[in-house]
Structure 1
Amino acid sequence: MANYTAADVKKLRELTGVGMMDCKNALVESDGDVDKAIEALRIKGQKGVAKREGRSAENGAVASIISDDNTSGVIVELKCETDFVAKGEKFQAVTNQLAAHIAATSPADVEALLASEIEPGKTVQAFVDEANANLGEKIVLDRFAQFTGGYVSAYMHRTMPDLPFQIGVLVELDKENAEVARGVAQHIAAFAPKWLSKEDVPADVVESERRVAEEVTRAEGKPEAALPKIVEGRVNGFFRDNTLLGQDYALDNKKSVQKVLDEAGVTLVRFSRIKVGI
C-alpha cells in the first residue's frame, strides 16, 4: 500500500511547486514523511541547478509595484524556460516577492540585489536558486528598474490573455499627471523607443547612421550638392523613429510625444521598458 495520501501529494505540490510524479516519488522514498520529502526534493533540485545553467530562459514575467503616493515605482523581470512555468502561481509569487523586496530596499544594481537578504539568512541569489530547484527550470533575475523622486507610474501589458505580464513600462514625470503618464507608458510599450531624446543617442550610433545615410544616398545617384541636406534628413528620421520624444504619439499620431508633454505642461524625466526575453 502507498504510505501517503492524495492530500499529502497535494500539500507537497503546494509547498514546493514540483510536479506530481516527483512529489509521489519523494513521498515513497521518505516513507510518507512530508518534511523529509521536501528536503529530498530540495536536494534533488539543487543538484539540477548547475545542469540547467546552460539552458535558455526566454519566458517569464514582469511585475511592478508603485507606491501609494506615486513617488516611487519598480518593475522587475524574472525569466524561466517555458510559458507553462511562467503561468504558474508559484513563479508569479516569486516574481512579486522580488518586486516588493526591490521596492523596500532600493538596491543599486543587480549585483547588489542578488547579494541582499530577502529573508533572514537568505540572499536573493539563494532565493532565486531555491525557485530554480523547486520549479525544475532555469530561473534568471538580471533586470529591474526603480524610479523615485517625481511622479512615477507603470503600465503592464499581456501579449497573450493566459500569460502573466510580458511587458512592463516605468515612467517618471516631473509633476503629477496620471492621464499623460499612462498614455505615454502605453505608447512606450507599443513602440519600444530606444532613447528618450536625440541628445541621449550615443555619438558613435549617430556617426554610424550618418555614414550609412551618406553611402545610401550616394548609391542612389543623388547630386553631390544635395547630399548634406538629404543625409541630415535621414538622420533626423532616425531620431524620430528611435527616440521617444520624436515619435508620433500612439493615441494621436498628428502630435509627437514631445508636443503631448508640452501641451500638458509636464516633462518626462526618464523611462524604462522591459519585455520578457528581449
Structure 2
Amino acid sequence: MATVNMADVKRLRELTAAGMMDCKKALTEAEGDFDKAVEILRLMGAKDVGKREARTASNGLVAAKLEGTSLGALLELNCETDFVAKGERFQELAAKVVDHIAATKPADVDALLSSELEGKSVKEHLDEANAALGEKIEIRRFSLLEGGYIASYLHKSDPQLPPTVGVLVQLDKENAEIGKDLAQHIAAMAPKWLSREDVPADVVEKERALFEQMTRDEGKPEQAIAKIVEGRIGGFYKDFTVLEQPFVKDNKKTIAKVAQEAGVTVQAFARYKVGQA
C-alpha cells in the first residue's frame, strides 16, 4: 500500500473542497496518483449527490449583477460550509448564474433551474458542482429589479469569505450617491418592507394583538391601551419599513425625508442575508 503524502492530501482538498478523510481515502485507493485521486473523488461525489438532497445548505454567498443602471439581479447561492463558499469554483458558479439571471430574466427559481446555460440546464450545473465539491449546492432565491436607477451593495462580514449580505435598491431617477447610501442603510438595518402600506394586514393584526396583550400585562389603564398600542405599531413600522426608518448617517431624518431632499422616490428594494428569511 502506497504511503499517503499529507501535502498531497492538503493540495487535493484545496482543489476539490472534499473532506480530509475522503481525500486521504482517494489517494490511498489511487496508490498516490494525484490525478487518479481527483477522478475517484469526482466519482464519489456524483454517487452521493442524491444523498445530499436532505442536508442543510446554510452557508454560501450573495451575488449581484447590474446591467447598465436600470436592471439588477441578486442571487443567494447556498452550500454547506464556509470552506466551499470561499472556494473559486463555487464563486465562479455564482457569478455565472447571476449573469444568466440578468440576461434571461427567469420568472422564478424553477424556471431558472430548467433554463439553458452554456448548453446545459442550470440544474445540471448545480449537480456537477454538487459532485465536484462534495456538498449540497442550491439556489435559494433571486430577485430582479428593472427600471429607473438601480444601485447595489454587497457586504462581507469576514474578509476571508465572499459577501453574505446583498442589496438592490431602485430609485425613480439616477442618483449614485443616494443609491449607495440607501443600499448600505438597507444592508445594515434589515428592513422587511418598503412602506407601511406594503406590510401584510395579517402581520399588522398579529403585532397589534401582541402589543395589546403586552400592554395589558403591564397593567396600563384600560382607557390608555388603544393609544399605547397604536404608538407601538408606529414603532414597528419604524423598525421594519425602509421609508420610516431613521437614516443610519443622520438619525434625525427618516429615509423618506432623505429621499425627498434628494429629489428621488424609492420604488423597491431586495435584501438577502445568507441563511436568513
Q: What's the TM-score bracket when you normalise by the shorter of the two chains?
A: 0.7 to 0.9
- Percent identity over the alignment? 57
CA distance in 2, matches of 1:57, 1:196: 29
CA distance in 2, matches of 1:233, 1:58: 37
Please, which of 107, 123, 142 is the counterpart of residue 125 of structure 1?
123
- 1:216: Cα distance to partner? 1.8
CA distance in 2, matches of 1:26, 1:119: 34
- 1:196: Cα distance to partner? 0.6
Structure 1 position 166 matched with structure 2 position 156: no
Contact 1:17 1:90 (C-alpha < 8 Å) held by counterparts: no
Q: How does 1:132-211 map to 2 (within 5 A)?
A: 132-211=130-209
- 1:221: Cα distance to partner? 2.3
Match of 1:59 in 2: 59
**1:19-67 Cα distance to aligned partner (Å, 9 max, x none):** 76477467659x88x6x87765443211111122222211111111112
**1:98-126 Cα distance to aligned partner (Å, 9 max, x none):** 11111111111101000001121x11011
CA distance in 1, matches of 2:139, 2:102: 15
The amino acid across from 1:43 in the alignment is L
Residues 13 and 119 of structure 1: is their aligned pair in 2 closer, same or farther, counting only changes over 3 Å? farther
SS in 2 for 1:137: coil
Q: TM-score, normalised by structure 1?
A: 0.87
Match of 1:231 in 2: 229
Contact 2:49 2:131 (C-alpha < 8 Å) held by counterparts: yes
Residues 12 and 118 of structure 1: is their aligned pair in 2 closer, same or farther, counting only changes over 3 Å? farther
CA distance in 2, matches of 1:179, 1:22: 54
CA distance in 2, matches of 1:71, 1:51: 41
CA distance in 2, matches of 1:22, 1:173: 55
Q: How does 1:231-270 map to 2 (within 5 A)?
A: 231-270=229-268
The amino acid across from 1:167 in the alignment is V
Question: How many positions carry a matched residue from both structures?
Answer: 268
**1:166-188 Cα distance to aligned partner (Å, 9 max, x none):** 10001111100111111011011
Contact 2:169 2:266 (C-alpha < 8 Å) held by counterparts: yes
The amino acid across from 1:71 in the alignment is S
Consecutive unaligned residues in structure 1, runs of 5 or more: 3-7
**1:194-249 Cα distance to aligned partner (Å, 9 max, x none):** 11110011101111111122222222222222222111111111111111111100
Match of 1:44 in 2: 44
Aligned CA RMSD, in angstroms, stands at 2.6
Residues 26 and 231 of structure 1: is their aligned pair in 2 closer, same or farther, counting only changes over 3 Å? same
Contact 1:114 1:125 (C-alpha < 8 Å) held by counterparts: yes
Q: TM-score, normalised by structure 2?
A: 0.88
Contact 2:26 2:40 (C-alpha < 8 Å) held by counterparts: no
Residues 25 and 100 of structure 1: is their aligned pair in 2 closer, same or farther, counting only changes over 3 Å? farther
CA distance in 1, matches of 2:146, 2:29: 46
CA distance in 2, matches of 1:17, 1:81: 11
Consecutive unaligned residues in structure 2, runs of 5 or more: 3-7
SS in 1 for 2:131: helix
Structure 1 window deviating more from structure 2 (45-54 vs 130-139): it is 45-54
Structure 1 stretches of at least 4 aligned residues deviating more than 3 Å after TM superposition: 8-29, 36-43
CA distance in 2, matches of 1:206, 1:153: 30
The amino acid across from 1:84 in the alignment is F
